[in-house]
């Protein structure tokens, strides 16, 4: 079935990104938006727009009834969830299908299976994928204490239903556990509606490397190479690049094989990302699977020349992937820099009106933005306002272009993290490509 009209159940830059591919394919589009977002570019650029509620996400972008009503009222036949919000909500995917609409993503069953981190770990172990030593779901502090002693400190305490780095705690002792357990469980319940926690051994100085996978549900499951995602603040990514500058070719091949094996093991369909931690010896461990399009998908698009949203739509329409693994090539080097509306030193959000927003232009530069000059950055949503993606024939050229692009990027009226991104670029460890997830923390410590 060909998609004629697509409702985009998201906002900002990812809504505009999806709109772009839909225009190229002649697909009509419907934007849904909160009252706070009514003047943002994605609302104006869609063929139709429906206000679905007040600014808070619980009353608008997480309001399944309002989104499904908008789809029905506008005659949409498919829904693309973007990333975040309802994109990995199995109930929402199920309700979309029950309404007779196409959900652009994997099945509700797969989303549920991989969305619960404890269940996902179990599936990966059964599939022969290495996982970080850890626990099943933990019910109370006494059980947590026993599991921590069994695994061995330091441990990472995590929310089973979590994502985006929310609620993670590194614990070095029983005293840390006693202090953190109740608050971590409360945050998990508040953010995800599920207070279940679990533990994993904390791996010292790891790198965070993920593999983009695609499956068409017709027997073809492929990888689109890896992305290095080790520059993180509070367990959230800030800079991503492909190919990874820090792993050996044989490790890259093993990671990509494991990712495909993981996707096949759960009957995956569509675009997904299998995330791994890689230790200093280049042993790697399954971390999680994101059952959606990633924020950093443009990095993969820049090095492969593929349109991942177009491929998502093809698979959702029941078409096979138009190529095999041997036809996918990675060329050059690409980096993505997330532009956040926040204080670059303290990570505090910085909402307000953009007096100027002038992205860089030039060869090898792509900016995906959710705002423009005059836009209001509301305090209700994730503070990312744009992504600057830079490609070069090799990493050296990509880094040189990056510094020029970020230095000329004008954002006025709010604070943003452009100064921090430039500092990252200037770090010797980063320039050598020999960095791990502790890079940004060390950089911040040196600034004090």
Confidence of residue 380 (pLDDT cuts 50, 70, 90): very high
| % of residues, the chain, pLDDT over 90 | 79
CA distance 230 to 128: 25
pLDDT computed for residue 187 by the predictor: 83
Tokens representing 214? Answer: 């695609």
> Which residues contact residue 304 at a Cβ distance below 8 angstroms, ignoring those fewer than 6 apart?
224, 225, 328, 329, 330, 331
Strand partners, 226: 211
Q: Residue 162's pLDDT is what?
A: 67
Question: How much is the pLDDT for 260?
Answer: 97
Q: Annotated catalytic sites, by residue?
A: 292
Please determine, for residue 248, whether its predicted confidence score (pLDDT) is greater than 80.
yes
What is the reported pLDDT for 163?
Answer: 63
Confidence of residue 289 (pLDDT cuts 50, 70, 90): very high
d(CA 197, CA 201): 14
Asked if pLDDT for residue 399 goes beyond 70, the answer is yes
Q: Mean pLDDT, the chain, as a whole number?
A: 94
- pLDDT at site 79: 98
Q: Which domains does the chain have, with CATH numbers?
A: 5-104 (3.40.50.20), 133-201 (3.30.1490.20), 207-446 (3.30.470.20)
pLDDT class of 167 with cuts at 50, 70, 90: low
The Cα 271–Cα 263 span in angstroms is 10
CA 94, 98, 99, 105 torsion: positive or negative?
A: positive
Question: 311-370 pLDDT, tens per residue?
Answer: 999 999 999 999 999 999 999 999 999 999 999 888 889 999 999 999 999 999 999 999
285, β-bridge pairs? 277
Instruction: Please return the burial class of 248, using the count of CB atoms within 10 Å of its CB with bins 0-12, 13-18 and 19+.
Output: exposed
Binning pLDDT at 50, 70 and 90, where does residue 165 land?
Answer: low
Cβ neighbours of residue 178 under 8 Å, at least 6 residues apart?
Answer: 141
pLDDT tops 80 at residue 166: no
Nearest Cα to 168, choosing from 232, 88, 91?
Answer: 232
Is residue 275 a contact partner of residue 289, using CB atoms and an 8 Å limit? yes
In this predicted structure, the answer to whether residue 169 has a pLDDT above a threshold of 90 is no
Task: Return the pLDDT at 136.
Answer: 83
> Does position 448 have pLDDT exceeding 70, yes or no?
no
């Amino acid at each position: 079935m060909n998609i004629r009209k697509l409702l985009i159940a998201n906002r900002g830059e990812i809504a505009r990104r999806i709109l772009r591919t839909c225009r190229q394919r002649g697909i009509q589009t419907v934007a849904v938006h909160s009252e706070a977002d009514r003047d943002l570019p994605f609302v104006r650029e869609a063929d139709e727009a429906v206000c679905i509620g007040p600014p808070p996400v619980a009353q608008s972008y997480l309001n399944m009834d309002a989104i499904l009503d908008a789809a029905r009222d506008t005659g949409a036949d498919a829904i693309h969830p973007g990333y975040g919000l309802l994109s990995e909500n199995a109930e929402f995917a199920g309700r979309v299908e029950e309404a007779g609409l196409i959900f652009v993503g994997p099945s509700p069953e797969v989303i549920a299976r991989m969305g619960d981190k404890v269940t996902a770990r179990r599936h990966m172990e059964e599939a022969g994928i290495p996982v970080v030593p850890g626990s099943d779901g933990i019910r109370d502090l006494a059980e947590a204490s026993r599991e921590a002693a069994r695994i061995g400190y330091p441990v990472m305490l995590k929310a089973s239903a979590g994502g985006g780095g929310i609620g993670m705690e590194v614990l070095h002792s029983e005293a840390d556990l006693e202090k953190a357990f109740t608050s971590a469980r409360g945050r998990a319940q508040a953010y995800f509606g599920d207070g279940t926690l679990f533990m994993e051994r904390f791996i010292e100085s790891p790198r965070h490397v993920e593999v983009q996978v695609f499956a068409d549900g017709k027997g073809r499951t492929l990888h689109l190479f890896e992305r290095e995602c080790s520059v993180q603040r509070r367990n959230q990514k800030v800079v991503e690049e492909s190919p990874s500058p820090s792993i050996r070719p044989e490790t890259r091949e093993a990671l990509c094989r494991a990712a495909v094996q993981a996707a096949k093991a759960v009957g995956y369909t569509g675009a997904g990302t299998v995330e791994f931690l890689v230790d200093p010896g280049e042993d790697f461990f399954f971390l999680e699977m994101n059952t959606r399009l990633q924020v950093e998908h443009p990095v993969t698009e820049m090095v492969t020349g593929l349109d991942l949203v177009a491929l998502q739509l093809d698979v959702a329409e029941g078409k096979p992937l138009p190529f095999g693994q041997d036809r996918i090539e990675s060329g050059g080097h690409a980096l993505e820099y997330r532009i956040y509306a926040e204080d670059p030193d303290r990570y505090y959000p910085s909402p307000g009106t953009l007096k100027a927003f002038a992205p860089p232009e030039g060869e090898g530069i792509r900016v995906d933005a959710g705002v423009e000059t005059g836009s209001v950055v509301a305090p209700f949503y994730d503070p990312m306002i744009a992504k600057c993606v830079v490609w070069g024939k090799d990493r050296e050229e990509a880094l040189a272009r990056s510094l020029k692009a970020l230095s000329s990027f004008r954002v006025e009226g709010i604070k943003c993290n452009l100064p921090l991104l430039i500092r990252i670029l200037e770090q010797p460890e980063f320039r050598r490509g020999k960095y791990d997830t502790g890079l940004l923390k060390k950089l911040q410590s040196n600034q004090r």
